[in-house]
Amino acid sequence: MLQISTRAGAMPASPIRKLVPYAEAAKRKGIHVYHLNIGQPDVETPPAILDAVRNADIRVLEYSHSAGNESYRRKLVEYYKKVGIDVDHNEIIITTGGSEAIMFGFFTCLNPGDEVIIPEPFYANYNGFAVAAGVGVVPITSHIENGFALPPIADFEKVITPKTKAIIICNPNNPTGYLYSREEMEALKTICLEHNLFLFSDEAYREFCYDGAYVSALHLDGMDQHVVLMDTVSKRYSACGARLGAFVTKNKDVYGAAMKFAQARLSPPGLAQILGEAAVDLPDSYFDEPKAEYQSRRDLLVSRLNAMEGVFCPNPGGAFYAIARLPIDNADTFCQWLLESFSHNNKTLMLAPATGFYGTVGLGKNEVRLAYVLNKQDLSAAMDCLEAALKVYPGHIPLSSTTEHAVTF
């Protein structure tokens, strides 16, 4: 009998996608499903960047340089300059989405058996890359009560061992929407310098900060050798399907090592690079509209949620996610029930149970992640559904015991 590998067995199924069959079944029954479960923006991809692909003069669609087209990397240098990051084109490797940049980080900097510390809840796919790389994920818990702020330095120090090699942050954060302050970024710097750790900084949502200033890991003085930036155009330009990201580091050893992984897979997607290069030439004002749109959606979402009995949702400072605590027994059961057994005016909504974003088993059981990637009318209708659902959900937990419940976590 042929066996799959142990690591394949250990790979987590996507917590975002595992409810998909239930959503498909609901749709087959004629129920409209509002998708707040996945970070797929509905914002239009800028036509100008799609036109750049349409108008490209291609005779042979050739391999690009393994680090990506030099012209695109040079363009990205301009882009990074605009956001206060000073890098050279030889410090950038173009990747297949932010995903590949994360993978390069794991394989380049970490040995099997090494550990990375990640504030939880965190982007669930870090788990997948960690399993693939044989690396242990050590979560430290951030809490809904203070909006998922960075845990105190003492919490990091409690779990640092000789195996600890890196800290991973996502800023602004997926799934919490939390935007790390200058002080929090400086705290991370202190830990990384003192304990000689890499800082993997996933900044996929950089353009979407609503309250407070965005501080990149590459804004931190003295951290050049420690920082690996993982970036993507997916959310920035609403171009998730392009699969175009970047691995950025000033550490020459890390860069050189990552280039060997980049060479093994030959080159990043070619058509997408044309799109990415054109995107840097979009006017700076391009972001005004999507950012204002996301912000107004956030405001609508958070106020609707907090107006529901027993619901608490901190106000996220960035990205387009929020985590809400609901008066429910079990988020996985609830999210499945929404799709399987509930509808309101023939509509329902799909949410991501927060359990999948925690590394600590048992956490997030009464929390869900909501991606505000729908227009306000649909978002409002989705909130109507949620409000109605909470009133009839069999596993509803009344307010007082919910509060108690929340304290437990």
Residues 58-117 within binding reach of a copy of itself (CB under 8 A): 58-64, 66, 96-97, 99-100, 103, 107-112, 114
Q: Is the CB of 110 or the CB of 302 nearer to a copy of itself?
A: 110
CA-CA distance, 73 to 64, in Å (whole number)? 12
Interacting residue with a copy of itself among 22, 122, 129, 294 (CB under 8 A): 129
Least spacing, CB of residue 247 vs a copy of itself, in Å: 13
Least spacing, CB of residue 337 vs a copy of itself, in Å: 23
Q: Is the CB of 198 or the CB of 337 nearer to a copy of itself?
A: 198
Please list every residue from 19 through 48 that binds a copy of itself, using CB under 8 A. Answer: 38, 40-45
Q: Is the CB of 2 or the CB of 154 nearer to a copy of itself?
A: 2
Specify the stretch interacting with a copy of itself by CB under 8 A; choose among 72-80, 207-215, 264-272, 301-309: 264-272
Interacting residue with a copy of itself among 258, 278, 370, 382 (CB under 8 A): 258
Q: Does 251 interact with a copy of itself (rule: CB under 8 A)? A: yes
CA-CA distance, 357 to 355, in Å (whole number)? 5
Q: Is the CB of 282 or the CB of 406 nearer to a copy of itself?
A: 282
Interacting residue with a copy of itself among 181, 187, 219, 270 (CB under 8 A): 270
Q: Is the CB of 100 or the CB of 378 nearer to a copy of itself?
A: 100
Q: Is the CB of 172 or the CB of 268 nearer to a copy of itself?
A: 268
Q: Does 266 interact with a copy of itself (rule: CB under 8 A)? A: yes
Whether 326 contacts 366, CB under 8 Å? yes
Please list every residue from 185 through 224 that binds a copy of itself, using CB under 8 A. Answer: 196, 198
